[in-house]
Amino acid sequence: MLTKIDLQTPAGESLNDITAQVKAFVENSGVQEGLCVIYNPHSTAGVTINSGLDPNTAQDIIGEVRRLVPTRVDFHHIYDTPADAAGHIKSVLVGSSLTLIVSQGKLLLGSSQSILFYDFDGPRRRQVWVRTLSEG
């Protein structure tokens, strides 16, 4: 089963919590035992898992990724803007997909874990594709 989650991200870099949408899809998919694949089809965004309990966590993650890959004008490829080139590199570091376990019809996540869509070059209309795969 496949679904698409539509997002409108704010300006700049943002971590957007999509946990509730993914959990609801998994629970409605009918899959009891299997996998859930979350795929980001954008080259200036990523998906990751991290704590969703403290909003300062997102602020720290964004700040540190920005420190590791600052927006600059000396990239070899600047198709759109310097933020676009930096976003391509950040997406390589963060990753574009996740595979999670489904057990007893529920997505297995740690108690403080959230599924986060990380946009490096907003504002944009984005999609995340989610597919469940059944064991049987």
User: Looking at the chain, how many residues does it have?
Assistant: 136
Domains and CATH numbers, the chain: 2-134 (2.60.120.460)
pLDDT at residue 78 is higher than 70: no
Residue 73 pLDDT class (50, 70, 90 cuts): confident
Phi first, then psi, for residue 109 (nearest 5°) are -135, 150
Instruction: With 0.85 as the threshold, say if the pTM is over it.
Output: yes
**Higher-pLDDT residue of 75, 19:** 19
Quick check: helix, strand or coil at residue 33? strand
Token pair of 63 as six digits: 């700040």
Q: Measure the CA–CA gap between 96 and 90, rounded to whole angstroms.
A: 10
- Tell me the CB-side half-sphere exposure of residue 114, using CA atoms within 13 A: 17
